[in-house]
């Protein structure tokens, strides 16, 4: 029996919001054993959610013995210390008497503070802080760990390999793709016909299609993963958006035509005295302003979306003094459900905008100007 797509779509969104409610109400790295009751704990939980982490915490509960239990799974920790490379699972971190998370490996004591790993100085057992809350007896290590964001990127890459692999195999069988390929083909054609061709031009767009398709699906999948209760916020990490913007920068700079560099460095048709000034302005635009607009737009919109959704879910806690438990939960659920539906659209929209602007910048660089 056929099931309408709209109810499935609605139930999917509702399941996402409900799971987020459970995770918010029962988890989090707080001083209250994982329970969140105050505004300060809510702020701490939202910051914890937006930041990267070395493990996944899905939800928490209190057992019959009154002990707080956290349900999730650890990730590999890979760090370079003064004693060389150290590898272990994040579950080996444990709280010491001072409340810090410490693990000892090969004579090296490592401590985790706000998701950052430090190496304690020799003979130290706990971290000391100055007035600015900076560690005074520990130093940062080179962290190559598989964090939540790294895991999310690897997972998105795997999905893309499987999806595009299925699309390629289906084309070998016939002109009309089947299975997953039938879902991907309209999106691939959309990127080609609505983004690449108009902005880059009919002659050169095919050269840049692999990059544009990769960056579009990569951002889109990661944005969708960010709406799940697993706590992904990959495109909300400034380091990730910086790397994506730098890739676009390198591509349009290395593929710039002679006309592009001539018009950038020595603009024709203007007084000679103004050309050096315009050259500086153009270089600042291409080297700084355009990449900055790419990275900030993606980072700010995704982070703001997560912050708004988590804040609306937190209304069930902040409003419980003025309403009944059911009343505050209902208000919070309806508002969070509405914003989550919008965020699904934003997930696609931000992938589209980043890809569109990247193709536009590439098109400006490879364009051949007509000379009269």
Question: Is the predicted pLDDT of residue 271 greater than 50, yes or no?
Answer: yes
Give the pLDDT band (50/70/90) at residue 32: very low
Question: Is the predicted pLDDT of residue 112 greater than 60, yes or no?
Answer: yes
Say which range, 156-160, 204-208, 281-285, 328-332, has the weakest mean pLDDT: 328-332
Mean pLDDT of 240-267: 88
Give the pLDDT band (50/70/90) at residue 370: low
Q: Distance (Å, rounded) from C-alpha 34 to C-alpha 117?
A: 21
Identify the pLDDT of residue 320: 67
Identify the residue whose tokens are 């100085």. 121
| Both tokens assigned to 317 | 């806690």
96 vs 186, residue with greater confidence: 186
Q: Do the beta carbons of residue 128 and residue 136 sit within 8 Å?
A: yes
Question: Is the predicted pLDDT of residue 280 greater than 70, yes or no?
Answer: yes
| Both tokens assigned to 340 | 């989550």
Tell me the pLDDT tens digit for each residue of 145-157: 999 999 999 999 9
What is the CB-side half-sphere exposure of residue 145 using CA atoms within 13 A?
25
Using DSSP, state whether 188 is helix, strand or coil: helix
């Amino acid at each position: 029996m056929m099931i309408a797509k709209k109810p499935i779509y609605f139930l999917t969104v509702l399941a996402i919001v409900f799971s987020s409610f459970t995770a918010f109400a029962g988890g989090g790295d707080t001083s209250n054993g994982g329970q969140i009751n105050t505004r300060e704990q809510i702020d701490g939980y939202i910051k914890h959610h937006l930041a990267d982490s070395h493990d996944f915490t899905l939800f928490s509960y209190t057992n019959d013995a009154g002990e707080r239990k956290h349900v999730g799974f650890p990730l590999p920790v890979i760090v370079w210390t003064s004693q060389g490379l150290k590898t272990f699972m994040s579950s080996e971190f444990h709280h010491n008497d001072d409340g810090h998370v410490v693990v000892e490996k090969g004579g090296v004591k490592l401590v985790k503070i706000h998701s950052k790993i430090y190496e304690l100085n020799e003979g130290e057992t706990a971290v000391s802080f100055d007035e600015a809350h900076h560690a005074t007896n520990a130093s940062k290590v080179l962290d190559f760990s598989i964090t939540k964001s790294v895991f999310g990127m690897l997972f998105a890459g795997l999905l893309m390999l499987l999806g595009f692999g299925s699309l390629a195999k289906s084309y070998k069988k016939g002109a009309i793709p089947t299975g997953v390929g039938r879902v991907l083909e309209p999106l691939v054609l959309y990127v080609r016909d609505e983004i690449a061709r108009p902005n880059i031009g009919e002659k050169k767009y095919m050269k840049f299609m692999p990059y544009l398709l990769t960056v579009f699906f990569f951002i889109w999948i990661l944005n969708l993963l960010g709406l799940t209760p697993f706590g992904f916020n990959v495109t909300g990490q400034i380091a990730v958006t910086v790397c994506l913007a730098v890739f676009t920068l390198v591509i349009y700079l290395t593929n710039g035509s002679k006309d592009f560099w001539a018009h950038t460095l020595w603009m024709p048709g203007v007084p000679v005295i103004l050309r050096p000034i315009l050259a500086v302005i153009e270089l600042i635009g291409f080297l700084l302003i355009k990449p900055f607009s790419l990275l900030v737009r993606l980072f700010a919109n995704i982070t703001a979306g997560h912050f708004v959704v988590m804040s609306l879910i937190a209304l069930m806690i902040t409003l419980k003094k003025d309403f009944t438990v059911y009343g505050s939960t209902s208000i919070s659920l309806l508002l969070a459900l509405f914003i989550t539906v919008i965020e699904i659209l934003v997930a696609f929209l931000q992938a589209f905008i980043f890809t569109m602007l990247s193709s536009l910048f590439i098109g400006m660089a490879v364009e051949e100007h007509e000379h009269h």
